[in-house]
Structures are given as structure tokens and as C-alpha cells.
Amino acid sequence: MITGQEYEVTRHAVRRSQQRGISPAVVRLVMDKADIDVHVGNGLCSLSISRKKLKNLRKDGIPLALLERCSDIFVLIDPQSDTVITVFHGNTGMRKANLRTDHGHSQGS
């Protein structure tokens, strides 16, 4: 998690986020709330938010629509230069519906 830290965003990252439909708000939330930080080589790290953390953030009042857009999003950063290298959708197959339910049971039912 890199709360409060400002990162430079490369032109490549801006272009890819636009091409992939990933808004700056989504990138910022993933960076601020990431609980998964994987070193991927060459000094780079991949940040993402786990399914469990997304559910907890929903309980904290973050809008469901924003959380759904953050599911399965990865932000590749260079922590040495404080730079966002790129952003992308993962291939985990996490369903947005998982944020709406708890173990397959609808909340409020």
C-alpha cells in the first residue's frame, strides 16, 4: 500500500489505461488500498486488491461501482523511481457479483 505517496505516471501507462478502460480513480484506489504486492522482476512490483479486501472496502462505504472496476486490476510500479509503468486487467476471472454477495448469499436477503 502506498497511501499518500505521489507517483509519476508514464505516457505508456496513461495510454494503456485509456485503451483498457481503466480510469485514474481506479488506479489511485488500487494503489492506495492494495493488499497484494508482488515483486515481478527488474525491481518492479505489481499491486492489486484481493477479493476479501474489496468486500471489506464495500463495508467501509466505498461505492460498489468503483470497487467493481477495481476488481482484477493490476498496477505495475517501479518503487525505486516512484513511477507507474502500466496498468492492466488480470486473468483471474473474478466475478463482479462476488462483491455483492457473501459466500453466494445475497446481502440483505
Number of H helices, E strands in the chain: 5, 7
Tens of pLDDT, residue by residue, the chain (109 residues): 444 468 899 999 999 999 999 999 999 999 999 999 999 999 999 999 999 999 999 888 899 999 999 999 999 999 999 999 999 998 744 444 344 544 444 444 4
pTM to 2 decimal places: 0.79
Place of cell 505521489: 6
What are φ and ψ of residue 39, in 5° steps?
-75, 125
Which cell numbers in the block locate residue 83?
Answer: 513511477
Q: How far apart are CA 98 and CA 51, in angstroms?
A: 8
- Do the Cβ atoms of 38 and 11 come closer than 8 Å? no
Place of cell 463495508: 59
pLDDT at position 61 is 87
